[in-house]
Structure 1
Amino acid sequence: MKSTTIRRWSFIHTWTSLICTLFLLMLAITGLPLVFHHEIEHLLGDAPQFREMPANTPQLDLQQLVEAAQAHRAGEVVQYFGWDEDEPHGVLAITAATADTEPNSSHTFMLDARTGEAVETPSANGGFMMVMLRLHVDMYAGLPGKLLLAFMGLLFVLAIVSGVVLYAPFMRKLTFGTVRNQKSTRTRWLDLHNLIGVVTLTWALVVGVTGVISACADLLIGAWRAETLSALIEPYRDAPPLKQLAPATRLLDIAHGAAPGMTPDFIAFPGTRFSSEHHYAVFMQGGTHLTSHLLTPVLIDATTLDVTAVVERPWYMDAMGLSQPLHFGDYGGMPMQILWAALDVLTIIVLGSGVYLWWVRRRAAKASGAEATA
């Protein structure tokens, strides 16, 4: 590789890395507890606790649960109901002052599906895990924070690619995995930086790309609403505002009929960003671990309970659905979580060593310049 090309790639690698390093260190540190968020919530006592009841205790219907949620949060409306396979007796409820209230101003809790009792989930509304999540997702800056982190993710990907380009000729000089312990401290750290960087290469690219996609989620959802949802609800453009919703009792049966073989993941109530002013949207998921993250919305008229559409997913919504669990290692249970955590720690070492190497080289260049002018 020609020296001018090497210098060009070295410049790209150095400055893309330096610009994004502080943000990436923050993301790596906050991402570590998020990989084990279920376990940490149980350890902190934030996981919902349900009463022991006979196994055959029947569950309330959906409308009864809606009324229970509204009674628990008087004056608020239900935005979403969701289901979690880890909580067979619970229904996740999200309520807010209005249906279109932005997510960070909503309130989340669990309902016991058998009794309608509300069980608070402190970690969903504040506390340590929520602080980690907000820092990791948007740094408490909303959409501008998400877009800034997406840009830092792109710089991270470029830093990885440029690092691989620079490492290729380096590999021809040394056996893979060599750490020259007899050399200077800087050389040893350079060898470790390169070695760990190559070991974590694939993981870092996966996490970087999925992080960029996840950070752009608001834009992707906005595009889905503008391109797909708006066309499907066009007949309702001039419809008068809803005065009363049809009871939610049969929503799941209706959705099962429209999307056989699938199970419900969550319901978006009318007026939220995943539905329209005149529809319930029941998001159905596939039966495999992979397809469980690919959601198919069933639009149900909120007055007549007629199915108006089974919405096809655009590719970018599939990309978002697959990237978010992959970003946090949610696909393979505890073994994958441990692997993700180990690679996260190694990435912190790569980032820290990169800053150290830049600082040492910069200091040496200043010293050489001072000697030349002396």
Structure 2
Amino acid sequence: MDLSAMMPIIYLRGLLLLLLSFSTLYSTRALKVYLLDTLNATSELNWRTYSNQDEKDGWLEETMYSRSENKNHQVYSTCNYESTHDAENWLLIPFVERGEAQRFYLHFNFTIVRCAAVEALRTSGCKETLKLYAAQFNESEEKEFVKRKNWFNETKWDYVDTLASHSTTDTANNNQNKNEVEREGSLEGEGNIQKDHQQQQSNNNQQQTYTQTSSYDVKKRYVHFALRNTGACSSILSVKIYYNVCPEYFSSLLHLPRTVSSRDPHGVVSVQGQCTSNSSPVATIISQQQQNSKNLQKLEKLVRRQFPALQPPTAICKADGSWQLVGSSTECVCDQGFVVSKINGMCTGGEEIFLIF
């Protein structure tokens, strides 16, 4: 038998199973690597704070009970709506080590009371936003930073984002989450202004929970984040810091390695896949041209000229940690003499199966 005449058939065997395998690529679950999650804290957070007001009116740590999770967790709250001058309340999040991450994502669950919603808050000092800042350090710089008394100096920070009560991120959950968190108690020494406001807020059912995700490009080994409150009545219910990873992926014929997502929040990382054992890349152009080609020898020469060194398919790791197969001139199929096993989906020796279209 003329082997050149069998070339298109060899290239096409297993193609149908290959396409079925690739269809699962789009549903591969993204991997989030968490570096901080306050909901998992088993003791008080004891984060550093600064206030230019009476210290009892700055950020205060409290224990709250979550009905949805049936457990206590730590939160930080502050309210300076009666301040006669601009309030400066800073909350320092402990350093996070970069590791392999290119970009950090910060997910906040928080409350900010609308100034117009409560009569006592209708003052010039009432705000409805929080500012998020970041500072990066190498090891020696971080050790010096934690010793500074004026760590809150704004000129040393990069502005990252604004957390606002009108955040549209996950707004569908605002009403659902409104009553999921109840106060268990407050720390000793909490200011009367804050207590009175919280009682009035509860009575008027004005509190809503918002969620927002911000991101920050990391280059140095350590990163500190800080929240700046200049007059908002707010609570930070939870903070999560993580980075995205496209997990290692195996199909019956294609392997993609674990890949950290791009530094660019809208960017992608191109990854060359590998054909699994007993399979090789072949040109997809054959399946397209076979229908119109009457001379298989010419077709074989055309493929060799256009694809002198065939490479496995390429996939992209998206910023959210999901894989997507890009348009490719090649696909992985079982080598000659091997077929896709119905047991494990791998290419194994056995009777040859030809798929002719």
Is TM (by shorter chain) over 0.5?
A: no
Higher helix share: 1
TM bracket, shorter-chain basis: under 0.3
Q: When the two structures are superposed, what TM-score results if normalisation uses the length of structure 1? A: 0.19
TM-score, normalising length: structure 2: 0.20
Max radius of gyration: which structure? 2
More strand by share: 2
